[in-house]
Amino acid sequence: MKDVTVLVVDDEKEIRDAIEIYLRNEGMHVVKAKDGIEAMEFLDKFDVQLIILDVMMPRQDGIATTFQIRKDKRIPIIILSAKAENTDKILGLQIGADDYITKPFNPLELIARVKSQIRRYVEFGVPIKQENTIQLNGLLLDQDGKHIVVNGDMVKLTPIEYKIVELLMLHPGRVFSIDEIYERVWKEPGFNAENTVAVHIRKIREKIEIDPKNPNYLKVVWGIGYKMEK
């Protein structure tokens, strides 16, 4: 399912990462939050089509978060919890959750329930769209929030770093010379711009690459310039 973003909220990193793998294998984009407060912040920044929400979390649990979301949003919510008692399931559904899965869960069942909820969401007339975002491989650039999401984790960029990444992501595969990058980002002639651009490229790589010395996204084309890999 392309152009679908799922918000995964769980205080256990291993569970967030595992669910991300399952969803990404289905072509979905994933944003991850570690508690209800962070989830609410991300809902203000991203166009989300479904939420997978743990119940027991620090700061703000899943029940309180569901109640807060339902004040003004109809995004499908799947409650994910180790609690299997009927009272917990009923409470989650009564306050506005659309489905409930207990841990440990079957990945195939989780994916089936996610797809079912997204289909229902679309059929009820809520379009799946991501306005003002640019998505490329594991990167999602939020043009409103001026930040980037790398494999589900939000990364803050400086204004100059943001402009460089936006330029390259808008033209994936195209090689921009150092002078051209400087002129487009700094809005002035690119005389002796090599060191300035190189420093910013290095800082961007440190933020978005797992191994900045062997980048997967922001590539150098020796003797010419830089590009964002398709």
The DSSP H or E segment spanning 99 is strand 99-102
Domain ranges of the chain: 5-123, 133-228
Confidence of residue 230 (pLDDT cuts 50, 70, 90): confident
CA distances from 104 to 15, 57, 83 (A): 10, 16, 10
* pLDDT tens-digit readout, 174-193: 999 999 999 999 998 877 78
Instruction: Tell me the percentage of the chain whose pLDDT exceeds 90.
Output: 49
CB 142 within 8 A of CB 148: yes
What are the tens digits of pLDDT across the range 135-179? 777 788 878 778 888 866 778 899 999 999 999 999 989 999 999
Confidence of residue 51 (pLDDT cuts 50, 70, 90): very high
- For residues 216 and 81, give the distance between their C-alpha atoms in angstroms, rounded to a whole number: 35
pLDDT on residue 229 = 87
Selection from 163, 151, 145, 154 nearest residue 217 by Cα: 151
CB 151, CB 20: distance < 8 Å:
yes
Q: Is the pTM of the predicted complex or chain greater than 0.75?
A: no
More confident residue, 131 or 217: 217
Q: For domain 5-123, which CATH number applies: 1.10.390.10, 3.40.50.2300, 3.40.640.10, 1.10.760.10?
A: 3.40.50.2300
Q: How many CB atoms lie within 10 A of CB 107?
A: 14
Q: Which CATH class is domain 133-228?
A: mainly alpha
Q: Give the pLDDT confidence score for residue 124 in this predicted structure.
A: 56
**Per-residue pLDDT at 128:** 47
Kindly state the helix (H) or strand (E) to which residue 139 belongs, with its residue range: strand 139-142
